[in-house]
C-alpha cells in the first residue's frame, strides 16, 4: 500500500490535501471523489494527486491551514 495526497478545492475557498493509503493512484482518485461527496463540498474538485514519500506529511493550506 502507498500513501497519496489528494489536493481538493471547493467553491467556499477551501483547499487542502487529504491523505489516503491505497494500492494506486486510481484508488486515490476514487477516495478523493468519495471524500468530496461525503463532505458535500460545493463544486469540489481534485487539483492533483501525488505519492507521499516515507515520513512525508501532506501540505495544509487555504482554509484547512487557517489562512
pTM here? 0.82
Containing structural domain, residue 41: 2-65
Pick from 52, 53, 43: nearest CA to 11: 43
Q: Name the domain count of the chain.
A: 1
Identify the pLDDT of residue 42.
86
pLDDT tens digits for range 28-56: 999 999 999 999 998 999 999 999 998 88
pLDDT tens digits for range 6-18: 999 998 878 889 9
Q: Which helix (H) or strand (E) holds 6?
A: strand 2-9
In the chain the first and final C-alpha atoms are separated, in Å, by 32
Amino acid at each position: 500500500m502507498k500513501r497519496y495526497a489528494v489536493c481538493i478545492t471547493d467553491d467556499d475557498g477551501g483547499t487542502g490535501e487529504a491523505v489516503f493509503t491505497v494500492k494506486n493512484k486510481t484508488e486515490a482518485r476514487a477516495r478523493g471523489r468519495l471524500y468530496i461527496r461525503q463532505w458535500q463540498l460545493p463544486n469540489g474538485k481534485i487539483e492533483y494527486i501525488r505519492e507521499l514519500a516515507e515520513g512525508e506529511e501532506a501540505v495544509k493550506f487555504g482554509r484547512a491551514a487557517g489562512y
